Amino acid sequence: MSIKTLLTSNTKQFLDISANSLNLNSNDDILTLATGPWAMSQATSIQVEIISKSVTMSIGPDVLETSVNNLKITIVELLPSQYRPKFDTILPIRVFSNGQLAFGLVEILITGAISIFSNVNGDAFANAQGAGFDSFSVSWIVET
């Protein structure tokens, strides 16, 4: 057996084993609405993918509208159960607060609820100027 044949055979076995161990469970695109500080709900979408125990969620496109209420942003659709985090998860993201980009938080609860806050203190968006979020992606671990 040549070295080339041996390497090719071992590489193929490794790739076959690796592909099986990745356990790509699913991915989904969810069209939904974001509610909160605006006069009208804003259309957005969620893309989620799970590989092994790691979920990656992307929400977009960017949303920036004049705020009329002093509220957090709430994503209307709950995450399907297979994508929900093992623990309530809070991660930093970029938001629009008072019309300016700032650091805010996204909260993903074990119930599948998603909320977005105007700053790292977890405050609601102010009833002034523009409020929203920059498109973002975050990842977390799920229980399997």
Domain assignment of residue 36, yes or no: yes
Domain assignment of residue 2, yes or no: no
Domain assignment of residue 125, yes or no: yes
Q: Given pLDDT bands bounded at 50, 70 and 90, which one contains residue 18?
A: very low
For range 102-107, the mean pLDDT? 97
User: What is the value of pTM for the model shown?
Assistant: 0.81
pLDDT in tens, 26-68: 899 999 999 999 999 999 999 999 998 899 999 999 999 999 9
Domain assignment of residue 134, yes or no: yes
Return all residues near 31 (Cβ < 8 A) that are at least 6 apart: 43, 45
CATH of the domain at 136: 2.60.90.20
Domain assignment of residue 114, yes or no: yes
Domain assignment of residue 131, yes or no: yes
Domain assignment of residue 4, yes or no: no
Expressed as residue numbers, the domain containing 126 is 25-141
Rounded to whole angstroms, the Cα distance separating 143 from 125 reads 32
Domain assignment of residue 13, yes or no: no
Q: Work out how many domains the chain is built from and give that number.
A: 1
pLDDT in tens, 66-100: 999 999 999 999 999 999 999 999 999 999 999 89
Rounded to whole angstroms, the Cα distance separating 9 from 124 reads 57
Q: Look up residue 65 and give its two tokens.
A: 């509208």
Q: What's the confidence (pLDDT) of residue 1?
A: 55
Rounded to whole angstroms, the Cα distance separating 135 from 113 reads 18
